[in-house]
Amino acid sequence: MSSAIGTGHFVSWDGGAMFISHATQVTPLHSHYAMQVAFGSAQGIRFRGDDREGWTEYEGVVIASRQPHAMDASHVPFGAVLFVEPETREGRALAERYAGGGITSLPADVREAIAPALFSTWREERSRPALIEGAKRVIHALTGGVEPSVVSDERILRAISYVNSHLDGSLTLEEVAAKGFLSPSRFRHLFVEETGMALRPYILWRRFLHVWDLLMTGSTLSAAAHAAGFADAAHLTRTSRRMFGFPPSALQFGAPLREEARK
């Protein structure tokens, strides 16, 4: 049997990311810093918070930051998993609207309002810009129209640019703060204020986004690991299993997405 958990695509943008795929296997129990929104193209996606629990079927879910969960989307034609950082405006709005914590169910009418357009865009458009825009519309709807955080401080913008262009190396607070001409303590406070998250989880988040983007464009696992600052492919695989429940090699990518939306 194939070790792949599904076939699909990955897209990322400032503040979020999404896997959309046809799943063939269960995603094992795991937890991560990002909040998660997940739903299928039809009812039947299943989750559990512990391997000793039975599966519960949902229309869709919002999963709190660091909540352990396993997912089985093999019973629906297609599934979408969106990640939102918990300290961003969108993350805070999700936490407030779905305040139960843990694994919170989405009502059927909510899934029916957000799912068809997203899966239609994926099947018919097959372009990165269109898919990103579709994912953003989902988050916008679920948060009640909250606008995403926008980094405006030039010092933090310089630091972020430096981080994103040096993901292949080690990055320290002192080094990054210096690029913004700030002391480490002042930078730490301002970075959270502007981005909604601390520097270390931001760097790890950016490393993973870079890995998935590289794999989507045909990079080897080893090359992607080194380009994103992991010691080697084994280090990347261990970290991915801990954060996402599966290794990067477990998702097979479909035909490349177009880089431009249809006119």
Going from N- to C-terminal start, the domains of the chain cover: 6-142, 154-246
For residue 196, give the DSSP letter: S
pLDDT the model gives residue 66: 86
Residues 6+ apart with CB under 8 A from 152: 194
For the chain, give the mean pLDDT: 89
Q: How confident is the model at residue 2 (pLDDT cuts 50, 70, 90)?
A: very low
Report the topology of domain 154-246. Answer: Arc Repressor Mutant, subunit A (1.10.10)
Q: Would you state the torsion angle of the CA atoms of residues 216, 220, 223, 229, taken in this order, to the nearest 10 degrees?
A: 50
pLDDT at 4 over 70: no
Rama region for 23: left / alpha / beta (φ>0; ψ in -120 to 50; rest): beta
pLDDT the model gives residue 3: 58
**Average pLDDT of span 5-26:** 87
**Average pLDDT of span 130-157:** 91
DSSP assignment of 223-257 equals HHHHHTT-SSHHHHHHHHHHHHSS-GGGEEE-SPP
In a 13 Å sphere around the CA of 78, the CA atoms on its Cβ side amount to 17
Q: Would you state the torsion angle of the CA atoms of residues 239, 243, 244, 249, taken in this order, to the nearest 10 degrees?
A: -10
**113-135: pLDDT as tens digits:** 999 999 999 999 889 999 999 99
**156-211: pLDDT as tens digits:** 999 999 999 999 999 999 999 999 999 999 999 999 888 877 899 889 888 988 99
Q: How confident is the model at residue 263 (pLDDT cuts 50, 70, 90)?
A: low
**Average pLDDT of span 46-69:** 94
Q: How confident is the model at residue 59 (pLDDT cuts 50, 70, 90)?
A: very high
Specify whether domain 6-142 bears CATH 2.60.120.10: yes
**205-251: pLDDT as tens digits:** 889 889 988 988 889 999 999 999 999 999 999 988 887 878 888 77
Cβ proximity of 49 and 16 under 8 Å: no
Look up the pTM and report it. Answer: 0.86
Q: Would you state the torsion angle of the CA atoms of residues 176, 182, 186, 191, taken in this order, to the nearest 10 degrees?
A: -50
